[in-house]
Amino acid sequence: MEIQRKQLRDAAIRTREQLAATDRAPLETAVQTHVAALLDRLDIHRLAFCWPYRSEPDLRPVVVDWLDAAPGRQAALPVMVAPARPLKFREWTPASAMVPDMHGIFIPADGAELTPELLLIPLNAFDAAGYRLGYGGGYFDRTLAALSPAPRTVGVGFELGRVDTTHPQLHDHPMHWIVTEAGIHPVGGGA
């Protein structure tokens, strides 16, 4: 089963990374538009998102607009504090000093630890039941199992990652919504 998951993951990443910039730009703009529309519907004050990595959709413009739209809102980025441990979430603003982590993903150099109400989680592959494949480290699944109260979750990616099944494992957590260039797809209890 893990071999199938790795093959799905690798194929989706390869396809995404091979998109020409001219093909990718309108897809990313559509994803950003749909994420912004979902955020407008939700009554949340703290969200976490991920710095774009390996040609994932860039949600920074959406998060900046969301922060600017109402006082008291906070955004955070995930920070890996130790291998095989849940992620922590460090406050981020557009002025935050950024440093690369051990994987080369940028994180805030410092900032308060936050507990998000909503997680915008990148996906490489996903299925109609709301299960996603990330990079195979299990960080978000461990984090979701540890957070209380559990945040709502949004898997964010491109339709090219849609598969019949991700072959979910017992530890996998389905997303509440999947957002792609095709729209907002409620799954796993999303409304």
Question: Is 8 marked as a binding-site residue?
Answer: yes
Residue 56's Cβ-count burial label (10 Å; 0-12, 13-18, 19+) is buried
Question: Is 39 marked as a binding-site residue?
Answer: no
Q: Could you give the CA distance from residue 94 to residue 83 in angstroms, rounded to a whole number?
A: 27
Question: Is 2 marked as a binding-site residue?
Answer: no
Question: Is 4 marked as a binding-site residue?
Answer: no
Question: Is 16 marked as a binding-site residue?
Answer: no
Q: Could you give the CA distance from residue 44 to residue 168 in angstroms, rounded to a whole number?
A: 28
Question: Is 132 marked as a binding-site residue?
Answer: no
> Angle, nearest 10°, between helix axes 60-69 and 21-41?
30
Which segments are annotated as binding site for ATP? 5-9
Which segments are annotated as binding site? 5-9, 56
Which segments are annotated as binding site for substrate? 56
